[in-house]
Amino acid sequence: MVTTDTARQAWSRYVSTGAIVTSLLREPVRYAWERAHELGANPHAMKAERLSTLETERMLAREQALLSAAQPFLQALSSAAGAERHAVMISDAQAVVLDVVGDEESVHGRERVPGPGALLSEEVCGSNGLGTPLAMGSYVELVGPEHFIGGFHSFTCQGIPLLGLDGRVAGVLSTSVRAPGASRRLREILVCAAHGIEAELLLGRMEQDMQKVLSAPEDSRARDALRRDVAQARRIAQAGVREAGRRAAWSPVEEVLHQLRLADEAILRVRRNIRLWRALASSVTGAPRPVALTALVEELSELLRAEAVTQGVELILREREPVTVEADPHALARVLLHGFLDAFALAGMGGAVQVDVRLDHVLREGEVSVLPVPAMGLGASPPVVQRLSFPALFKVSPENTLLSLPAVEEREAGRMRHAPLPRPGHEELGEIGGGVSGVHVPAPILLGRRAN
């Protein structure tokens, strides 16, 4: 059985003979040690490599977007460590340290961790919480003697890569603690914080994308509605991570995980909204393809729930027959979005908007009906129903059906490689809809203003 003790034995054997005893190490640690050995890392001391003061200043200016996105999450992780000796670190894509947050001794004391400008690649430091996640492209935890360099054996380090706007690694988020128990309560917070930082990076380009394309008056409504929803979800996400960090040192783990689930769900909402935002901003007209219309309507309804609350409108999803249509998904989303916003305006404060998705077998069309109901009732002037129709498909391979709005760029999908925290009873969007036969009418979903 591989344990911390066997890793300590492996390190002693390596420094005395130069041989890596693979049976004494976990697989990711063995690979990291092999890379460090081939790169010439010294197991007795890290190489003192760091940028000059001027180079460090230029690097920090160049990485300002990443640093700004990370700040609230660095502080939350530091709070979660409590009084333990710890350092929360973020690096660029070459494992050069950008910032460190931690206790006074770890950041400024005689045994402080490497600060901004220090290089922590595996070539310089062997296996560590920044260089190894970069080399592996995934989350890594290194406990004590699993570090290649003896000077790091008192630390337990965890690190996770961060993806940037182009889908490539932009940096690494890492924690280092002296007490192994502290690392266990930081693990879930670290993963959630990585999700949050990546979402913040995506937000940086979102407004620019929207301004390029959505310039008509009716488009400004869509832009404002989506901006409000993103802002609300962003506040919830950051508050959830902060609260989890505050509670981590003294609350039961179930309470901390509950806060993290709330935060991670808000981050997922931000990501979905960004995906919609960027699709709406896309000037590229795609070829028609199979799209799960019902799933797209449900996704848009979820994204617009904050706007429904803002306008005092109750959004009610009624009949939701599984329907697959053939359409350009970006153009389809824009039509549906404007249809919802028009209905919000017609319903007015205190009103409701009722939405049904049906399959017309005669006309072979998928239809979305959007009915605004003002607060004063139907009255003498019945409300106008918007009927949005699209060519339906009856025989479609499920694997070829788009279940939610696609990213503008294929590499966008790589940003979701970190699995969200488990959500008991929660269905991911990709599991909704997709069928085209039979009729299923779930109970109505109420979004926005609460019913009296």
What is the structure's pLDDT at 217?
Answer: 52
State whether the Cα torsion 395-399-404-409 is positive or negative: negative
What is the structure's pLDDT at 253?
Answer: 65
What is the structure's pLDDT at 375?
Answer: 80
For 67-121, the pLDDT digits (tens) are 998 998 898 888 888 888 899 999 999 999 999 999 999 899 888 899 999 999 9
Say if strands 445-448 and 386-391 run parallel, antiparallel, or are unpaired.
unpaired
Hey, which of 36-50, 257-271, 411-425 has the most confident mean pLDDT? Answer: 36-50
Share of the chain above pLDDT 70, in %: 75
Identify whether the C-beta of residue 199 lies closer than 8 Å to the C-beta of residue 237: yes
* Angle (nearest 5°) at CA 354 between 348 and 357: 145
240 vs 173 pLDDT, higher one: 173
Contacts of 32 (CB under 8 A, 6+ apart): 122, 126, 127, 132, 135, 136, 140, 142, 148
For 4-15, the pLDDT digits (tens) are 999 999 999 999
Contacts of 396 (CB under 8 A, 6+ apart): 290, 324, 436
What is the structure's pLDDT at 447?
Answer: 52
For the domain made up of 289-407+429-448, give the CATH fold: Heat Shock Protein 90 (3.30.565)
Q: Which of 49-53, 149-153, 288-292, 406-410 has the lowest average pLDDT?
A: 406-410
- The model carries a pTM of 0.68
Q: Which of 173-182, 213-222, 226-235, 388-397 has the lowest average pLDDT?
A: 213-222
Residue 74: HSE in the Cβ half-sphere, 13 Å Cα cutoff: 20
C-alpha of 4 from chain center: 32
Residue 366's SS3 state is strand
Q: Which of 27-41, 150-164, 169-183, 268-282 has the lowest average pLDDT?
A: 268-282
What is the structure's pLDDT at 451?
Answer: 39
- H/E run at residue 355: strand 352-360
Give me the mean pLDDT over the 230-245 stretch.
Answer: 74
For 356-365, the pLDDT digits (tens) are 999 988 888 8
| Two structure tokens written together for 391 | 């060519």
Between CA 341 and CA 336 the distance in angstroms is: 9
| Two structure tokens written together for 327 | 């359409």
Identify whether the C-beta of residue 25 lies closer than 8 Å to the C-beta of residue 10: yes
C-alpha of 432 from chain center: 20
Between CA 144 and CA 180 the distance in angstroms is: 9
- Is it the case that residue 158 has pLDDT exceeding 90? yes
Identify whether the C-beta of residue 159 lies closer than 8 Å to the C-beta of residue 132: yes
What is the structure's pLDDT at 192?
Answer: 83
- Greatest CA separation for the chain: 93
| Two structure tokens written together for 266 | 């808000």
What is the structure's pLDDT at 209?
Answer: 58
Q: How confident is the model at residue 419 (pLDDT cuts 50, 70, 90)?
A: very low
Using only the alpha carbons of the chain, give its radius of gyration.
26
Averaged confidence pLDDT in the chain: 79
Q: How confident is the model at residue 132 (pLDDT cuts 50, 70, 90)?
A: very high
| Two structure tokens written together for 357 | 């998705």
Identify whether the C-beta of residue 170 lies closer than 8 Å to the C-beta of residue 215: no
- Is it the case that residue 305 has pLDDT exceeding 70? yes
Say if strands 352-360 and 314-320 run parallel, antiparallel, or are unpaired.
parallel
For 382-392, the pLDDT digits (tens) are 667 888 888 88
Q: How confident is the model at residue 232 (pLDDT cuts 50, 70, 90)?
A: confident
